[in-house]
Amino acid sequence: MLPLTRRSVLAGLAGTGVMATAPAFAGVELATAYQPPILKFQVQRDGSPIGLVAERFQARGNRLQVDVYIELVVKLAFIPVYRYEHRSREVWDGGRLVRLDTVTNDDGEAQAVQARALGDGLAVSGPSGDLTAPGDILPSSYWHPQFMQQSRMLDSQKGRILEFTIANKGIERIGVQDNRTIEANRYAMRGDIDLDFWYDSKERWRKMSFTIKGGFMEYFEMAGAPSDQDLFGSPLSTGARVASL
């Protein structure tokens, strides 16, 4: 990602939800569209693969647990010059995000975020300090079926609130797993973070792209594999893990 900086690279990559604004979305129903329950992307920079992003959806009684895995390595002449690792866990109850735990290794810089439901808000602690976010805010995992209707989100890497506008750019045909193509709506996010993302007719996240210094980044949907389950229990290369429930 040359030239990239720790600050620039993951405005668009940090993974790893919002209180639903429609009663139809509640608890585990939030992620029923994602079947099989692992969403997986290959990340490319200027057409070259640099890593993976994966998200897993699991029912825990009446709650929904969403785990996020990100592992990226940029190489120059086969030599690693930048590494980004991120793990996060979201817990949803009754359509509301009630807990978020994340750990990040941003090219050697360790970061962690914790968030807990508190009254009508969400108490957040992270590298950007402590704050109380609105109770209906979405973390930056992008899977939520109403994400394209938002104007703010919680940065899961730094624990700060990012503000933006989203414009619907219309339907486009995009490639997805198994060499298929589908029609999907493209949305342009502009503000504290600039990126484009695509959702299909069932409001499932299917693609993302953005430009940061030195490179054009794209997420391409991949078919899952049984071994993907092992991704979510893996620690960072530093040994850090998300907090256990």
Q: What is the mean pLDDT of the chain?
A: 88
pLDDT for position 215:
84
Confidence category of residue 9, pLDDT binned at 50, 70, 90: very low
Residue 27 sits at φ, ψ, to 5 deg, of 55, -135
Q: Is the pLDDT of residue 4 over 60?
A: no
Least confident of 16-30, 147-161, 167-181: 16-30
Side chain identity at residue 95, one-letter code: G
Q: Are 124 and 135 in contact (CB under 8 A)?
A: no
Residue with tokens 């792209």: 209
The tokens for 27 are 């608890």
Q: Are 122 and 132 in contact (CB under 8 A)?
A: yes
The Cα 3–Cα 24 span in angstroms is 45
Side chain identity at residue 16, one-letter code: T
Q: How many helices (H) and strands (E) does the chain have?
A: 1, 14
Q: Are 112 and 126 in contact (CB under 8 A)?
A: yes
Find all residues with CB under 8 Å of 51, minimum gap 6, and list them. 42, 43, 70, 71, 72, 73, 84
**Ranges of each domain in the chain:** 6-223
pLDDT digits (tens, 9 = 90+) for 36-63: 899 999 999 999 999 999 999 999 888 9
Helix, strand, coil % in the chain, rounded to nearest 5: 10, 55, 35
Taking the alpha carbons of 113, 195, 137, 96 in that order, is the dihedral positive or negative?
A: negative
**Stretch 67-94: mean pLDDT, rounded?**
93
